Amino acid sequence: MLSAGLNGSQIDGDGPAGYHSWGFTGGIGTAVQWHRNISTSIELLYSQRGSVQKGEMKNGAVERFKINTDYIEMPVCLNVNDNKALTVGVGISPAVLLNYRIAYQLTDAATGTVNTTPPVCLANPMKEYDVSGLVKMQFRCFRSLSIGAKYQYSLISLRPPCEGDTRANGQYHNVIGFYLQYKI
């Protein structure tokens, strides 16, 4: 199977909330039918995730940053289908970090001074791997074409949390994905 789509993502524990970071996801995979309604699937995907913040802080300063991460991930899922149009799956997705980029800007409201050095909690490197739990749902549109949605959440902390408006005990990828899948 071939798949391509979009990830809407955020990083829980970095301060902001909301799925404001969008990126590509896509790759190849295969599935094995074990029973009329049960299959397992494994995919090899390129996945872009991240976080975007633009907001005013309590002291009046304006903080903006954009974090982009690129991963190669291998989701393994147990799938249940109704043999008509609906497939629901649950699984685990180990991933390896390929690239990490951050653009940061803090503007002091009183002086207009601009600082481009990110705080330590954002400047620290992320772990070189991630393991996410995932759930997905697909609807078959045509014989070989499906449209799907998935939700992934990191099971291990990527790095320590930022101070401030966060209840997280670390930083975790939080991803909602939408994709098309073509079965060859």
Q: DSSP string spanning 109-166?
A: TTT--EE----HHHHSPPPSEEEEEEEEEEEE-SSSEEEEEEEEEESS-SSPPPSSS-
Q: Is the pLDDT score of 165 beyond 60?
A: no
Window from 52-56, 63-67, 103-107, 153-157 with minimum mean pLDDT = 52-56
pLDDT at residue 129, as a whole number: 96
Give the CA distances from residue 18 to residues 13, 50, 51, 53, in Å, rounded to whole numbers and listed in that order. Answer: 12, 11, 8, 9
Mean pLDDT of 131-148: 96
Model confidence band, residue 167 (pLDDT cutoffs 50, 70, 90): low
Higher pLDDT, 160 or 68: 68
Q: Is the pLDDT score of 16 beyond 70?
A: no
Residues facing 177 on adjacent strands: 7, 150
Mean pLDDT of 80-87: 90
Window from 60-64, 94-98, 164-168 with minimum mean pLDDT = 164-168
The burial of 181, by beta-carbon neighbours within 10 Å (0-12 exposed, 13-18 middle, 19 or more buried), is given as: buried
Q: Is the pLDDT score of 161 beyond 90?
A: no
Residues facing 91 on adjacent strands: 77, 134
Count other C-beta atoms under 10 Å from residue 118's C-beta: 18
Model confidence band, residue 162 (pLDDT cutoffs 50, 70, 90): confident
Q: Which of 169, 47, 48, 71 has its CA nearest to residue 128?
A: 71
Model confidence pTM above 0.85: yes
pLDDT at residue 18, as a whole number: 78
- Contacts of residue 14, defined as CB under 8 A and 6 or more positions apart, other chains included, come to 51, 53, 67, 121, 122, 161, 162, 166, 171
pLDDT at residue 99, as a whole number: 95
Tokens of 114: 């601009």
Q: What is the mean pLDDT of the chain?
A: 91
* Rounded-to-integer distance, Cα 165 and Cα 15, Å: 6
Residues, the chain, total? 184
